[in-house]
A and B are shown apart, each in its own frame.
Chain A
Amino acid sequence: MKVRSDILRTYQTLHTWTGICAGLVLFIGFYAGSLTMFKPAIEAWATPPTHQLTQIEPQRYDALIQQAYAYSDKAKRSLTVNFEQDQSPITWYEQGGSRGINLGNTLTHATLDKNDQLQLQTTPRSELGTLIDQLHRTAGIAGKLGDEDLGVQILGIAAALYFIAIVSGVIFLLPTLVKTLFALRTNKGASRFWLDSHNLVGVLSLPFHFIIAWSVVIFAFHHPLYDGLQAIYGDKPLFAEDPAESNKQIYNIEQLPSIDTYREKVAELAPGYQLKSIEFSRLTSDAPTAALEVVTDNQLMRGGFSDFIYIHAFTMDIAYTSIMPPGENSYNTIVKSFFALHFGNYAGNTGRWIYFLLGLMGAFLFYTGNLLWLEKRRQKSPQQTRSSKFMAALTVAVCLGSIAGVAITLFANKWLYIMGTSINHGYLWCYYLVFFATIIYSFSRGAAIAAIHLQQLISFACAGIVMTTVVTALVPQWHIWSTFDTSTLIVDFVAVVFAIIFYVAAQKTKHRALNGEENSVWYIGKTPVAQPALNLAESK
């Protein structure tokens, strides 16, 4: 396809600069997003199995709930009934709550023993999954901008740049697209190989990238966009008033309907869905709510891992439901599909693995994009430009540093429990210490050396995750980890795979640094002297 040369040049420039500006934060958003596909598995893996109490028979939930309410006022404020086998039958927050991020979250787990006596255990809640999710949404950028997370807003802007980068990338690829899409030329130098793989991955996962870019912009800026819509709606309210608010009656907790009643309600409202949990809130107030979390493996779901139905806990009047029968409200179906396409929740675990790979491929796209930027600016002399060295060091530090931070945090998890420290604070310390240390290291030693060492570090940390699982299972003093749920072994399996990948990658990087192209920021060669990325004397 022929495209005018000035158009090509315009979009090439656009693609380069939007990519280089947004690529690094998007890299973190994408690879951490891949991990959040398995957030429940990561949280289950990170929590000692002894924290979960034994499940009970379905008909005993009602007795347990009433005993818990009689025992604790905190339970009356909010209590969750879990129906999954590997979880405690009920839990409530002793400290903190389920909204937002709360590092001091403490859960009380409760169950009934054989004689219907209440059994309790209070433990800090591992927020590892939530923190990885937060890393995914903010790229680790802390702070607030008004009521919004600063990191979310920055990723929103990055996603808009990324949308421009997608469109411009496709446009300036058009003339050569058909001829070279599946050409993966390994014999024409590193630069050509990176370019071919960058184009191949980019074009083949285009629909995924399109929906991700669009949805991230919406997630970040939905408040101002709704404010703008209000001007169009005029006197019409954007959202209907909650009908349940007219009922101000206060009910007695003993009148709470049985769990079976809620199950029947779910069967009626969401046929084909499984009830996963119920969260009862504010039961003693005039707005008692039951949030029913329901799941299915073959439908588009509104939440990351489930659909939600909010009902009045006593009258069962619906306050909100994300499930509407098909055909009844096509707008609900359309909007829900946007969320589900971002969350990748519509095809069970198979779909999650596909999204996991798509996310990693996205991260690969941003990483190779930066490498291509560097290749284009390569000077034909051993001395490379300051901007190239800076960008190379920054790319290596941010991408590999963030992965190393997460890997070491996962490695530290079990040891943090054994040492008895505050786990959630420990996670944050681990991540940010590693992340900032890698930035300092990368800029002081230069990108070439940092790339090798950081990949080795990631490989060792991943190997350490698995070894920790093995060692803690064997040593009797560390008994909190001695039994484990085999379903969480998938986390260790992925760690093994990554340990191998990063080990091989580190070897290859080292080989290139020593034997590759000499006129490159990646060359170390015969003079293994550190080349600082920022050396002010050099720039003169």
Chain B
Amino acid sequence: MSRLTAEQKIQPHWWRKTLIGVVLGLSFAYSIIAIFAWYGPGGIDAPVKVQLNMWLVGLIWLLCLPFVYLFKTAGQAFKYLLIANMVGYAVFFALRTWA
């Protein structure tokens, strides 16, 4: 592994990355669970499923938090999480409209 230059290294950007992880991580978690809630096993009406959904939103959110710091800059973290959100909600609304 060759030595990384200063620009190639991860920039700290602690506060911005944290904020991005908390906000966009949560909305991303909801987009995944939205798809699972409606189209996962049992559909939207399966009893007790709402509780699992709530637990899983928390889990996906928590998993986003430590890994948001892997992005090189806060800007990249924002960009990729925004894309992930857009894809998640696009799939969800597409399914809701046409499925």
A pairs with B? yes
Docked-complex contact B52 and A10, CB < 8 angstroms:
no
Closest residue of chain A to B72, judged by CB? A6
Q: Does A470 interact with chain B (Cβ within 8 Å)?
A: no
Cβ proximity bits A205-243 to B, threshold 8 Å, 1 near / 0 not: 000000001100110011001101101110010111000
Q: Does B16 interact with chain A (Cβ within 8 Å)?
A: no
Q: Does A14 interact with chain B (Cβ within 8 Å)?
A: yes
Docked-complex contact A329 and B48, CB < 8 angstroms:
yes
Docked-complex contact A240 and B47, CB < 8 angstroms:
yes
Most B-side CB within 10 Å, residue of A11, A222, A225: A225
Q: CA–CA, A221 to B53, complex, Å?
A: 14
Docked-complex contact B51 and A214, CB < 8 angstroms:
no
Q: CA–CA, A236 to B37, complex, Å?
A: 11
The minimal Cβ–Cβ distance linking B63 to chain A, given in whole angstroms, is: 8
Cβ proximity bits B48-83 to A, threshold 8 Å, 1 near / 0 not: 111111110111001001110110000000000000
CB-CB < 8 A to B55: which residues of A?
214, 218, 335, 338
Residue pairs across A and B with CB atoms within 8 Å: the count is 87
Per the CB 8 Å criterion, the residue count for chain A at the interface is 38
Q: Does A163 interact with chain B (Cβ within 8 Å)?
A: yes
CB-CB < 8 A to A228: which residues of B?
26, 30, 57
Q: Does B34 interact with chain A (Cβ within 8 Å)?
A: yes
Main secondary structure of the interface of A (DSSP, over half): helix
Q: CA–CA, A6 to B87, complex, Å?
A: 30
Instruction: Give the top 6 A-B pairs by smallest Cβ distance, nearest first.
Output: A167-B66, A6-B9, A331-B48, A232-B34, A332-B48, A335-B51
Q: On chain B, which size bracket covers the interface?
A: 20 to 34
> Could you list 11 further interchain pairs (A-B, Cβ under 8 angstroms) beyond the known A164-B66, A233-B44, A335-B51?
A4-B1, A10-B70, A163-B65, A214-B62, A217-B62, A225-B58, A231-B30, A232-B33, A232-B37, A238-B50, A335-B55
The minimal Cβ–Cβ distance linking B80 to chain A, given in whole angstroms, is: 17
Q: Does B94 interact with chain A (Cβ within 8 Å)?
A: no
The minimal Cβ–Cβ distance linking A6 to chain B, given in whole angstroms, is: 4
CB-CB < 8 A to A335: which residues of B?
48, 51-52, 55
Docked-complex contact A226 and B59, CB < 8 angstroms:
no
CB-CB < 8 A to B48: which residues of A?
329, 331-332, 335
Docked-complex contact B69 and A10, CB < 8 angstroms:
yes
Q: CA–CA, A168 to B63, complex, Å?
A: 11
With beta carbons under 8 angstroms apart, the residue of A2, A10, A214, A231 that contacts B58 is A214
Q: CA–CA, A236 to B47, complex, Å?
A: 13
The minimal Cβ–Cβ distance linking B47 to chain A, given in whole angstroms, is: 6
CB-CB < 8 A to A236: which residues of B?
44-45
Docked-complex contact B69 and A163, CB < 8 angstroms:
no
Q: Does A507 interact with chain B (Cβ within 8 Å)?
A: no
CB-CB < 8 A to A222: which residues of B?
54
The minimal Cβ–Cβ distance linking A447 to chain B, given in whole angstroms, is: 28
CB-CB < 8 A to B70: which residues of A?
7, 10
The minimal Cβ–Cβ distance linking A255 to chain B, given in whole angstroms, is: 31
